[in-house]
């Protein structure tokens, strides 16, 4: 089975080609593939530790568990046989809710899949349900690129998104860890996070992220602050460059006047210092005498 081709046809089509959860035949077969739906002891099924999704809404799980108590698990999980257990490829949320509901058995379809196929299916399933937070989504795309040496264009084709969406998503991983966690916890939105990418300094990113909360800044307001900070830094650099030229001119004049090495340094607040070198007591007296004149 050429999984990669199926996944690249479009969002939803790739996953449906692997597991048709809506049309299970009366004989217990997966209508899309003809493979059997098996009732399996839930204790034999374990989640994929490397799956993209790390956070689950507890209230939503409770709601799903109540539904499962009444109607059962309507869509089978997709699993891969491992050494002594079956690993979930798609359907961890249903598995968690089934555990909460106290089920002893759960319907599964067993497939022999490569590690890349497992990751692709996990990403697509979560994207379809909008279950991934922006950081989890970015990390998933990054894994496809680093672990399986895919380009952004190839990742975009597999998950049926534009290359720009993939690129902008992965860029979120350039944020400081503190800010990334704020995105995960939904304290800071993805729009705010993208605006913060205009700030390179991690500490400054975090300070601005806290301002978003304290001042209830909109994305547009934050973008304006980031733009203005950029202008301020340019002005500071420009002023510093101008001062350096002034100090250099003063150094040259003092060197010629005192006939010794002179160093003039300044700070952003306008303060600074002048260092004059001397190599003997006589030379020191000469310099003091010239300054006095």
Give phi and psi for 148, each to the nearest 5. -115, 10
Maximum alpha-carbon separation in the chain: 109
Question: Does 92 participate in catalysis according to the annotation?
Answer: yes
Closest CA to 91 of 59, 131, 58: 131
Residue 117 is encoded by which pair of tokens? Answer: 């196929």
- How far is residue 262's CA from residue 229's CA, in Å, rounded to a whole number? 35
Q: Which of 87, 92, 120, 137 is catalytic?
A: 92
For residue 131, the Cα-to-chain-centroid distance in whole angstroms is 15
Residue 283 is encoded by which pair of tokens? Answer: 């030379």
Give phi and psi for 269, each to the nearest 5. -85, 5
Residue 285 is encoded by which pair of tokens? Answer: 């007296």
Buried b (16+ CB within 10 A) or exposed e, 88-119: bbbbbbbbbbbbbbebebbbbbbbebeebbbb
Q: Considering Cα of 32, then 38, then 39, then 45, what sign does the dihedral take?
A: negative
Number of residues in the chain: 293
- How far is residue 82's CA from residue 207's CA, in Å, rounded to a whole number? 46
Q: Which residues are catalytic?
A: 92
């Amino acid at each position: 089975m050429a999984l990669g081709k199926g996944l690249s046809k479009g969002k939803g089509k790739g996953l449906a080609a692997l597991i048709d959860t809506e049309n299970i035949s009366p004989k217990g077969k997966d209508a899309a593939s003809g493979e059997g739906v098996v009732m399996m002891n839930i204790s034999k099924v374990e989640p994929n530790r490397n799956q993209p999704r790390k956070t689950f809404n507890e209230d939503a799980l409770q709601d799903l568990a109540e539904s499962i108590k009444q109607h059962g698990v309507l869509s089978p999980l997709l699993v891969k046989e491992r050494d002594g257990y079956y690993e979930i490829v798609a359907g961890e949320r249903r598995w968690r809710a089934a555990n909460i509901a106290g089920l002893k058995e759960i319907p599964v379809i067993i497939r022999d899949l490569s590690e890349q196929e497992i990751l692709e299916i996990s990403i697509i399933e979560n994207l379809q349900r909008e279950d991934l937070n922006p950081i989890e989504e970015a990390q998933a795309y990054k894994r496809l690129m680093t672990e399986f040496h895919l380009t952004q264009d190839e990742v975009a084709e597999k998950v049926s998104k534009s290359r720009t969406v993939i690129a902008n998503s992965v860029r979120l991983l350039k944020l400081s860890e503190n800010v990334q966690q704020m995105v995960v916890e939904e304290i800071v939105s993805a729009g705010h996070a993208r605006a913060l990418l205009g700030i390179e300094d991690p500490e400054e990113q975090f300070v601005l992220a806290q301002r978003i909360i304290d001042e209830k800044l909109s994305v547009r307001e934050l973008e304006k602050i980031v733009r203005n900070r950029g202008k301020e830094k340019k002005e500071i650099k420009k002023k510093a460059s101008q001062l350096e030229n002034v100090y250099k001119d003063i150094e040259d004049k003092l060197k010629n006047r005192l006939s010794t090495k002179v160093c003039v340094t300044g700070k952003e607040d306008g303060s600074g210092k002048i260092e004059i070198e001397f190599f003997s007591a006589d030379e020191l007296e000469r310099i003091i005498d010239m300054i006095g004149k």
